[in-house]
Amino acid sequence: MTTQSTKTYKGYEIHPLIYPRRTANGVAHRNSIDSGYDASVRICRVGANAAADGRVFRLSYFRPFEGAGKARMACMEHAAQVIDGRVDGQTVSDL
């Protein structure tokens, strides 16, 4: 799994979490174009301990992202939507 640089949005830190998609047998293929990437995003208040005080939201897509860059952009967009309260069942209001 790779973590990318932290961004901030409306008082929250956004930490994209990008990792190679695992096959049915649980093996990740970093160099396989077909396998692609999955992504999650950790959101916490600015200055908080992200690991202890943050929350992770998994991005649910039917297909893997073609590249880490596309996955990272999707993380940023998803995090902004969660922070703005536009994703049903996902909130950061209690962080």
pLDDT in tens, 18-56: 988 876 666 655 555 557 899 999 999 999 988 888 999
Average pLDDT of every residue of the chain:
86
pLDDT of amino acid 36: 87
pLDDT of amino acid 24: 63
Q: First CA to last CA across the chain, in angstroms? A: 24
pLDDT of amino acid 18: 93
What is the secondary structure of 7-67 as a DSSP string? EEETTEEEEEEEEEPB-TTS-B-TT-TTT-EEEEEEEEETTS-HHHH-EEEE---SS-BSS
pLDDT band at 90 (very low <50, low <70, confident <90, very high): very high
Tell me the pTM: 0.81
